[in-house]
Amino acid sequence: MTGHWSILAIVSVQVLCAVVFVWQILASVLGFAPFSWQISELIEMGAALGLLLGMGLGLIVLRRTMARNVVVEDQLRAASGAFMDVMEERFTTWALTPAERDVALFAIKGMSTTEIAALREVSEGTIKAQTNAIYRKAGVAGRMQLLSLFIDDLMEPASATNG
């Protein structure tokens, strides 16, 4: 939440500084000077410093955001690797054949029976028979329950290693 306020503060300072510069330009063009030139110069220097400060703070926020993205990407890669490990462990426990492993992976990825059949260059009937064998070995009724087994394992890794 602190990041949101700091970004709002940076943008506010930059907007204020831009308004000061536009106001100064309009005052010059229209020929009125509400302040002496010394005061006007001080206001412009303050606005320029404000823009520089906003730029500096913006760079700090950008660096932090980029660093946070690296951490999140690493966590996502780890989760993806963990998901693959959980799948391989389950496939081994269920004693899936290589063909069933491929079909299970494609099914978990959300591919339809037709798409899996086309990729594997077999009939849809073969894929249906293989998915039924997978569901039977896994002890589930369908694709969603199959997927939920892996999600449960990832959400509760202690139960997968202890059970």
Task: State yes or no: pLDDT of 49 exceeds 60.
Answer: yes
The token pair at 21 is 């510069």
Buried b (16+ CB within 10 A) or exposed e, 76-101: eeeeeeeeeebbeebbeebebeeebb
CB 43 within 8 A of CB 34: no
Instruction: Find the angle CA(50)-CA(51)-CA(57) to the nearest 5 degrees.
Output: 85
Q: Give pLDDT tens digits for 4-34.
A: 787 788 788 788 878 888 888 888 888 877 7
CB 50 within 8 A of CB 14: yes
Q: Both ends of the chain: CA-CA distance in Å?
A: 39
Q: Give pLDDT tens digits for 80-138.
A: 777 788 788 889 999 999 999 999 999 988 999 999 999 999 999 999 999 999 999 99
Q: Give pLDDT tens digits for 133-148.
A: 999 999 999 988 988 8
The token pair at 120 is 């594997």
**For the whole model, what pTM was predicted?**
0.51
pLDDT of residue 67: 92
The residue among 22, 1, 11, 8 whose CA lies nearest residue 54 is 11
Residue type, 82: A
Long-range contacts from 67-71, C-beta under 8 angstroms, 24+ separation: none
Radius of gyration of the chain (CA): 31
pLDDT range class, residue 159, cuts 50, 70, 90: very low
